[in-house]
Structure 1
Amino acid sequence: MKRLLTSASLMLAMAGAASAADLYTPEPQPAPYEPAPVVETSGWYIRGDASYDVMNLRGAKFYQGGSSRRMVDFHESDIDNTGNIGVGVGYQVNDHFRVDTTFDYLFSADFRGSTTGGGSDFGACTDTCKSRDVSAMTAYSLMANAYVDIGHYGMLTPYVGAGLGGTYVKWDDLKNTACSATNPELCDDTVSHKGKGSWRMTYGLMLGTAIDINCNLKADVGYRYRRVDDGDMFGYKSNGGPGKDKGFDIHEARAGVRYAFGGCAEQAYLPPADMPQQEQPVFK
């Protein structure tokens, strides 16, 4: 009997080991990765900007009366730096391209110039004379602009752009005083030339970075270069004038905000991937 019980126990142990070897549980497979689709943003926006403007007057000239009767350049001409504020409305066409129209107002910038000469060209001066010429100008611009948003890097979106439009430049009256170069106290009476205004062709080049504040509001910092064509500056008076400026190169350090309408663009919803079911053991 003892021998029979021992044999039966050995047979049961061997059968259990065989069953454990045949028991197979497959490992769960991870769900395939599906990237979320990119949602492009589009819609209307408004903007406001302010800038510090470094002004470069490319020169000025005037018709000189007296015996010369010719156009001559100011020997010295300079204009002060100033500031600018602007507003605009635009449309974000897609995630990388947008357009807008902007209106900018350039604050008053003082002009100082001088010329040298003598004789009948300079009135009371009998020797070499030097004039003192002072005025000021303001301007406003209307521009159509297009931008390429290069890419999105976290909160930052760098861009480049270009614009084309017109600038109305308004000059104040130019006050001209001619004095003796050897005796600065000997001067003619100051002559006031009526200031002129004119529209000029203008183009601009921009680069900068937009900074996300929230999904509707962006800060905008950057640089803009504007080139303004030449135009009328002042009129004829007392055998002198009229005069013209040769245009401006304007370098602007800008900061502003853009507000987009239409709510926030959200990433498309993807339902959570189903967890793989634990398969039942397979007996072989």
Structure 2
Amino acid sequence: MFNFGRGAVLAGLLSGLAMPALAADLPEPPVVEAPQPAAPVYEEADYGGWYIRGDLGYRKSTMRGADYILYGAPGIVGHFDSHELKGGFSIGGGVGYQVTKYFRTDVTLDYWSKTKFNGSTSGFCGTGLPCTSSDTSSYSALLLLANAYVDIGTWHGITPYVGAGIGGANLKWNSLINKDPDGEFEHEGKSSWRFAYALMAGASYCLTDNAKLDVGYRFSHINGGPMFGYKVGGGPGFDTGINSHEVRAGLRYQFGRSDCAPPPPVYVPEPEPVYTK
């Protein structure tokens, strides 16, 4: 009994000492590395939103020509021998919508300040001899356009664009003063609504996250229409259309998100290690 008991105790001690050694030799469960996360993803921002604009400009206009009826009799037409329009300023505003990052539309209303007109006509004076008269007048206009633009892209905060507009103009001629050896005669000026269109190109620059400086060029065409009425054997008169070349600068302010603001990053969380059983 004594020998058996001693053997059992000794066996238990030996097994207890051997267990840690055996456990140390067992392999640990492998760690399965999760896939490495992709680089932070920046979602395409929604740049749609309303904006308002204000513009100042300087323009140089040209006339395609000017005609008038002689002696008040339809069918007998005279032509201005010369005609010239001076420069003028414009001021305007509008409201628009940024449809996508690359396309926007707006409606603009511009006032064209008074532009002087100088011309000359030739004919016969009261003596029956040929004579030349000098003619002076001026016009102003309201230009209403619906416009569409393509923003080509943005580099270092600068966005070049091209655009086109269509609409109408209310063109108002002041009285035409006709001077010749017979005296001075005043022909009442006329006003009318006419078809108009425009072509634009320029670039905008981000001043803040919502405000942009807009600098560009605009070509505008206004159809011909009545110019002045009948007076002392001459008139009425008609201009055959006005072209305008304009340099403009203004500000645009967009409500909501603008492409001037950096897109918010979408952060991907670091994955936790996964252990197999």
Q: TM-score of the superposition, structure 2-length normalised?
A: 0.81
Q: What does 1:2-41 align with in structure 2 at a 5 Å threshold? A: 31-41=37-47
Q: Secondary structure at the match of 1:115?
A: strand
Query: C-alpha distance in 1, partners of 2:95/2:186?
Result: 41
Instruction: Output the aligned Cα RMSD.
Output: 2.7
2-side partners of 1:123 and 1:89: how far apart? 56
Structure 1: which amino acid aligns with 2:248?
R
Matches within 5 A, 1:215-234: 215-234=209-228
1:162-193: CA deviation from partner (whole Å, max 9, x where unpaired): 10000011011111112xxxxxxxx1120101
Structure 1 CA distance for aligned equivalents of residues 211 and 72 of structure 2: 61
Structure 1 pair 40–72 and aligned structure 2 pair: CA distance change class (3 A): same
Q: Is the 8 A contact 1:31 1:276 kept in 2?
A: no
1:191-202 to 2 correspondences below 5 Å: 191-202=185-196
Equivalent residue, structure 2, for 1:240: 234
Identify the residue that residue 246 of structure 2 maps to in structure 1: 252
Question: Could you list the runs of 5+ residues in structure 1 that have no partner in the other structure?
Answer: 1-24, 179-186, 280-284
Computing the radius of gyration from Cα coordinates, the structure with the larger value is 2
Q: Which amino acid aligns with 2:126?
A: G
CA distance in 2, matches of 1:68, 1:276: 93
Say whether the 8 Å CA contact 2:40–2:266 is kept in structure 1. Answer: no
Residue 160 of structure 2 is aligned with which of 158, 161, 167? Answer: 158
Q: Following TM superposition, by how much is the alpha carbon of 1:139 offset from its aligned partner in structure 2, in angstroms?
A: 0.5
Between the aligned partners of 1:220 and 1:169, the Cα distance in structure 2 is: 26
Q: % of aligned pairs identical?
A: 42
Q: Say which of 144, 147, 159 aligns to 1:145.
A: 147
Give TM-score, length-normalised by structure 1. 0.79
CA separation of 1:69 and 1:92: change in aligned 2, threshold 3 A = closer
Code of the residue aligned with 2:163 in structure 1: it is G
For 2:96 and 2:38, how far apart are their aligned partners in 1?
41
Distance 1:67 1:96 in 2: 55
Match of 2:266 among 261, 265, 270: 270
Q: State the aligned residue count.
A: 245
After alignment, is 97-106 or 34-43 more displaced? 34-43
Q: Which 5+ residue runs of structure 2 have no aligned equivalent? A: 1-30
* Contact residue 208 and residue 223 of structure 1 kept, 8 A: yes
Q: Quote the offset at 1:269 in angstroms.
A: 3.7
Q: 2:270 is paired with a residue of what secondary structure?
A: coil
